[in-house]
Amino acid sequence: MSAILLCFVISLLRYFFLCSCDSIVDGNDRSGLLKKPDYKLSTPEMVMKNGYPVEIHEATTKDGYILSMHRIPYSPKSNNSRTNRPVVFLQHGLFCSSIDWVILGPGKALAYLLADEGYDVWLGNARGNVYSLKHTTLTPQQKDFWNFSWHEMGTYDLPAVIDYILARTRQQDVYYIGHSMGTTMFFVLTSLKPEYNTKFRLTIAFAPVVFMSDVKSDISKLAAFSRTGKQADQLYNSGIFFPPRTWAEHIQVACNNRTFTLCSTLIFLVAGFDPQELDPKLLPVILAHYPAGSSMKALVHYGQLMRTGKFQQYDHGRALNIMYYGTLEPPPYNLSAVTAPVSLYNGKNDWLSSIKDTEKLYSKLPNIVGMNQVPLDTFNHADFQWAKNAKTLLYNDVIKFMKNY
Ligand SMILES: *[C@@H]1O[C@H](CO)[C@@H](O)[C@H](O)[C@H]1NC(C)=O
Ligand SMILES: *[C@@H]1O[C@H](CO)[C@@H](O)[C@H](O)[C@H]1NC(C)=O
Ligand SMILES: *[C@@H]1O[C@H](CO)[C@@H](O)[C@H](O)[C@H]1NC(C)=O
Ligand SMILES: *[C@@H]1O[C@H](CO)[C@@H](O)[C@H](O)[C@H]1NC(C)=O
């Protein structure tokens, strides 16, 4: 019953949140791009349109997923000849993609600001989003393709991309900036594969999602009603949110100034209300790219964290847990093993990542170097990437902290 309810809500969300899945152009035809509206552009196209250099890289995970990374190697505004640029890797949240780090545009979006400051910027794309749909043997049409949660993104995707980047740039370590699920993936990796801790010089965790006992978004809490067991395991092997490309056009017409309230409400029901920081002109562009796709299991796994209040591996139901883990309950992730330095950032009006849950995380991590609240009472979960004033409210502070680290 609850699973059906969940599926219903998903289809509803799917109807409202529609993304365009444009293919990536790899050429240098900037003049063509300048004529194309932003909602039709992929991440590399958008970066190129804005006059920044961009590269597309692929890394293959141990379990066969081929992940795209988008790199802004330097900024036209900074000194190109400087070698050994420090690497910063940015990992998006659930249903998002690399585009969310550039969507605010130059002078405003974090990826551009970091490039301007002399960083070699790499944007990740977790398995199952529009840029990471390739696999060595599977296709997205097959159910087995979707048999993953953020556990696999942490244990397979991150090692593949971090090792690739370190080999390619000949650096010893990276700065890691994760938003939401991007933080979950980081904690999964560093708790289960502690040898990776030294590969992170500093980790900035935006809206960390680890403990979820204080979630205020009712629509998100629906995920907690999901079932466990053999049948549920089968049921959840599916991908979500792949609307046809043509919908992006309709969104542009449907979500104008007058319908701003209607179109933005679903974002706010998940993230917390903050209409002031969401630019009405940007909203149709955001909705054309969001959601960028992920697996049903990733959502269900979050539902389990909400239900239990614990940060633990995927619960398949008791019988299957015994088979997979040798225990009735799934094993918890051991946060004491996370020795990489971490700085946490919270929004005061974040309906998914609350200050209370973040304080619990703070108490478990052995190497915390910062605990910050963005100085705006309405700052929500999505504002970390989409807020009009994210630069002055948050990014300037983050970059200053990184430079001194
Ligand atoms: C650019 O960096 C190089 C190497 O660090 C330095 O020699 C040069 O003076 C810099 N140029 C400018 C314009 O800052
Ligand atoms: C999902 O993958 C795991 C291995 O990671 C496998 O043991 C399990 O049977 C798969 N589940 C389904 C429903 O195919
Ligand atoms: C949208 O509304 C704002 C003020 O609320 C106004 O300045 C702007 O011109 C409007 N844009 C369009 C396209 O109507
Ligand atoms: C968790 O990690 C810490 C630090 O590596 C270790 O001392 C401890 O034994 C681990 N706990 C469990 C239950 O594995």
Share the mean pLDDT of the chain.
88
Q: Which of 350, 353, 354, 383 is catalytic?
A: 350
Q: Ligand 3 centroid to 35 CA: how many Å?
A: 22
pLDDT digits over 81-132, tens only? 677 899 999 999 998 999 999 999 999 999 999 999 999 999 999 999 989 9
Average pLDDT, stretch 40-49? 93
Summarised one tens digit per residue, pLDDT across range 177-200 is 999 999 999 999 999 999 999 999
Domain residues of the chain, as ranges?
3-404
Rounded Cα gap, residues 388 and 229, in angstroms: 44
Q: Tell me the CA–centroid distance for residue 122 and ligand 2, in Å.
A: 31
Q: Which of 147, 150, 155, 233 for mutating ligand 2's site (highest number of atoms within 8 Å of CB)?
A: 147
- pLDDT-derived band at 22 (thresholds 50, 70, 90) equals very low
Answer yes or no: 70 catalytic: no
Residue to substitute in 253, 257, 276 for testing ligand 3 pocket (most ligand atoms within 8 angstroms of CB): 257
Residue 284: per-residue pLDDT: 82
| pLDDT score recorded for residue 235 | 84
The Cα–Cα gap between 328 and 313 comes to: 12
pLDDT band of 218, cuts 50, 70, 90: confident
Does residue 289 have a pLDDT over 90?
no
What does the pLDDT average to over 370-385? 96
Q: How many angstroms separate the Cα of 204 from the Cα of each of 48, 119, 168, 180, 182?
A: 26, 15, 23, 11, 10
pLDDT tens digits, residue range 290-305?
Answer: 778 889 899 999 999 9
Residue 230 confidence class, pLDDT cut points 50, 70, 90: confident
> Is 336 touching ligand 4 by the criterion CB < 6 Å?
yes
Q: Which residues contact 154 (CB under 8 A, 6 or more apart)?
A: 184, 185, 186, 187, 188, 189, 192
**What would the mean pLDDT of 2-16 be, rounded to a whole number?**
43
Residues in a beta bridge with 239: 295
Q: Quote the ligand 4 centre to 185 CA distance (angstroms).
A: 19
pLDDT at 9: 46
CB atoms closer than 10 angstroms to residue 139 = 10
pTM listed for this prediction: 0.89
What is the pLDDT at residue 222? 83
Return the residue whose CA atom lies nearest to atom 5 of ligand 1: 82
Q: Which two tokens stand for residue 393?
A: 């409210």
State the pLDDT confidence band at 243, using cuts at 50, 70 and 90: low
- Measure 353 CA to ligand 1 centroid, in angstroms: 42
For atom 5 of ligand 4, which residue has the closest CA? 337
Closest-CA residue, ligand 3 atom 13, reads: 257
Protein residues with CB under 6 Å of any ligand 3 atom: 257, 280
Q: Residue 242 has what pLDDT?
A: 56
Q: How many CB atoms lie within 10 A of CB 196?
A: 19
Return the ligand 3 atom nearest residue 256 CA.
13
**Residue for token digits 């299957």?**
320
Cα of 87 from ligand 1 centre, angstroms: 19
Residue carrying structure tokens 């700065």: 175
Tell me which ligand sits closest to the C-alpha of residue 234.
2
Q: Report residue 205 CA to chain centroid gap.
A: 11
> What is the arithmetic mean of pLDDT over 1-20?
40
Any idea which ligand is nearest the CA of 118? 1
Across 244-402, the runs of DSSP E, i.e. the strands, are: 294-295, 342-346, 368-373
Q: List residues near ligand 2 (CB under 6 A).
A: 147, 233-234, 237
Measuring from atom 13 of ligand 1, which residue has the nearest CA?
Answer: 79
Active site residue 350: yes
Fold of the domain built from segment(s) 3-404: Rossmann fold (3.40.50)
